[in-house]
Amino acid sequence: MAKPKVSVIMPAYNAAPFIGKSIAAVLNQTLKDFELIVVDDGSTDKTVEAVKTIKDPRIKVFSKKNGGAASARNVGLKKSSGEYVAYCDADDRFAEGHLKILADFLDAHPEVGLAYTKAVAVNTEGKDMGTWGEVFDRNRMQYFCVMVPSITMHRRECLDKAGYWDEDPALKNIHEDWDFFLRVTDDYKVAFLDAPTVLWLKLPEGLFIQSIKNKRYFSGLEYILKKRMKKFLSKKKKGKISPFDGYFFYNFRSCMDAAKEGQRAGAFKSAEVFESNIAPMFEDLSKMDKGNLEIWLVLVLIYFLMKKSDKTVEAAEIAVKLLDQKLDISDRNIVNLVVSSLKGAVYELGQAGEKEAAAKFAAKLKNAT
C-alpha cells in the first residue's frame, strides 16, 4: 500500500462530545491523500465509540493507558507513515484547505522542515478569543511557544534529529508542545504562513488553567529550562551560556504572570509559589551557569519581592562581581524588571551598610535607565 502524503495525529482523552466534528473537518480537507491516526489516551467516556461510528478507511484508531498528550502523539507517530506529519487535537477543527496549504508549501520549499499557520481561538459558546500564531522568532521561541500543535506540519525526517515528544511526567499536558517544537526548530528551518486555518477550542477549565492550579506549569517550565541549559552548556564556547540577553528575565516574567493567574483563581498565594517553585528554580539555574549576571539579578529581584533582605544581599554580593557584563535588552518591560532588581539591590545593600557595593549597583542602574 502506498504511503499517504500526510499523517494527521489526533490524541484524544474524554473527547466524545466534540471529536466527531474534529474528525469531520479532517475528512473534509481538499487534500485527500492523508491518514488520520486517532489515539485514545485512556478515556473513561465513549470517545472510542464515537470515533468508530465514522466510517472512512483513512481513519485508524488505537487505545492506550492514560499518559498524556505527548505519549498519545508518540503512539500515533509510530503507527503512521506519511511523508508529512500534522497534528489535530480532538477539540480543534481544520479549515478545509489547511492540509493542502501546508503540504503545498513544504513541497515548494524543501529547505523548510516545519511550517505553521494561525489558529482562531473560540470559547465553548463560539465567542472569538483572538488568534494564535505569529512570525517565527528564534529568541522568542526560547521563552514562549509561538505555535500550537494543530497549526503545524513537519517533515517526518525532522524526527531524526528532534526525536519524539518528551513523555516526562513534568511535561504531562503542559509545555510538552513547546519542548518538542523547540527541538525541531533547533535543527530545521521554520516558516510561518499568515493564514487562519484552524479553529482552536478553548475550554473554560483548559489544560493551561489546570496546570497553573496544580503548579505543574512551574515544574514543567523548570524542567524545560534545565533541559535547555544542558543543551546550551554543551555548545558553550565562552562567557554566558544563555541564548540571548534577557532570556532568564523573560522566563521569570512568565512565572510571575502564572503566579498572578493562580492567585486570581484562588488556587494559591503568589508568595507560596515564589517560595516553593520560583526561587528554587532559579537557584538551581544559578548553579548551572554560576557566572551569569542575569540569573543573579533575577534572584535579587525574587528575594526582594519575597522581602528576604539577607538573601537579597547575599545574591547581590555575588552579582556585584559580575556587573561588568553587558545586558543588551530592548524590550522595555524586561528592562523595567532589570531596573527593579537593581533598585532592590541598592536599597538592601544600603540598609546593610554595604555602601561600596550599593554604589556599583547604582552606577549600573544609571546605565540601565
Query: Residues 6 or more apart from 270 whose CB is under 8 A from it?
Result: 259, 260, 262, 263
- Whether residues 154 and 226 share a domain: the answer is no
Grid coordinates given for 304: 526582594
pLDDT of residue 183: 97
366: burial class by Cβ within 10 Å (0-12, 13-18, 19+)?
exposed
Please name the helix (run of DSSP H) or strand (run of DSSP E) that holds residue 112, with its range, or none. Answer: strand 112-122
CATH of residue 195's domain is 3.90.550.10
Domain boundary among 173, 204, 235: 204
Range of the domain at 322: 209-368
pLDDT of residue 1: 61
DSSP 28-54: T-S---EEEEEEEES-SSSHHHHHHTS
- Whether residues 199 and 345 share a domain: the answer is no
DSSP 283-301: HHHHHHSTT-HHHHHHHHH
CA separation for the pair 349, 361 (Å, rounded): 9
Q: What angle do CA 146, 150, 154 make, to 5 degrees?
A: 80
The number of distinct structural domains making up the chain is 2
Contact 223, 278 (CB under 8 A): no
- Whether residues 98 and 157 share a domain: the answer is yes
Phi, psi for residue 6 in degrees, rounded to 5: -130, 135
The pTM for the full model equals 0.93
pLDDT of residue 204: 55
- Whether residues 343 and 322 share a domain: the answer is yes
Positions of the chain with pLDDT under 50 = none
- Whether residues 170 and 103 share a domain: the answer is yes
Domain boundary among 204, 223, 248: 204
- In this structure, the number of other CB atoms found within 10 A of the CB of residue 78 comes to 11
DSSP 138-184: HHHHTTS----GGGEEEETTHHHHH-S----GGGTTSSHHHHHHHHH
- Whether residues 258 and 238 share a domain: the answer is yes
For residue 231, the one-letter residue type is K
- Whether residues 224 and 139 share a domain: the answer is no
CA separation for the pair 322, 113 (Å, rounded): 40
The tens digit of pLDDT for each residue in 284-327 reads 999 999 999 999 999 999 999 999 999 999 999 999 999 999 99
Domain boundary among 204, 229, 251: 204
